[in-house]
């Protein structure tokens, strides 16, 4: 998940009746200090203690060019190391 505004899991994520894992999170505002990212108001360690994202990473996902809506992954993306399988986005969405 790449974002540059708002909060991560800022709504009602309190009942823990969901499963999240093997994700890559990156807040463009905290590039210099990724430890400041909050998960439902707490730290990543607190979030993991609740049973979530045990195998997830806080890291730059290394998109080819997110600034131009190109969300293909570079070959050294941490998402690939987590087992993410890229999809051909040229075949996604409305077509003529």
Please give the pLDDT value at position 63.
94
Euclidean distance between CA atoms 55 and 20, whole angstroms: 9
Write down the pTM of the prediction: 0.81
Please give the pLDDT value at position 62.
95
pLDDT at 33 over 80: no
Please give the pLDDT value at position 69.
87
Specify whether the CB–CB gap between 84 and 73 falls below 8 A.
Answer: yes
Please give the pLDDT value at position 94.
83
* DSSP one-letter code for 74: P
Task: Take residue 16 and report the two structure tokens written for it.
Answer: 């823990």
Please give the mean pLDDT across all residues of the chain: 87
Q: How many other C-beta atoms can be found within 10 angstroms of the C-beta atom of residue 79?
A: 19
How many CA atoms are closer than 13 Å to the CA of 80, on its beta-carbon side? Answer: 10
């Amino acid at each position: 998940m790449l974002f540059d505004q708002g909060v991560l899991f800022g709504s009602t994520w309190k009942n823990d009746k969901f499963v999240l894992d093997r994700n890559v999170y990156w807040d463009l505002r905290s590039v210099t200090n990724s430890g400041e990212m909050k998960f439902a108001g707490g730290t990543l360690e607190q979030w993991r203690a609740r049973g979530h994202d045990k195998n997830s990473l806080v890291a730059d996902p290394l998109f080819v060019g997110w600034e131009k809506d190109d969300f293909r992954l570079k070959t050294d993306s941490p998402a690939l190391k987590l087992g993410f399988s890229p999809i051909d986005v040229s075949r996604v969405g409305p077509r003529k």
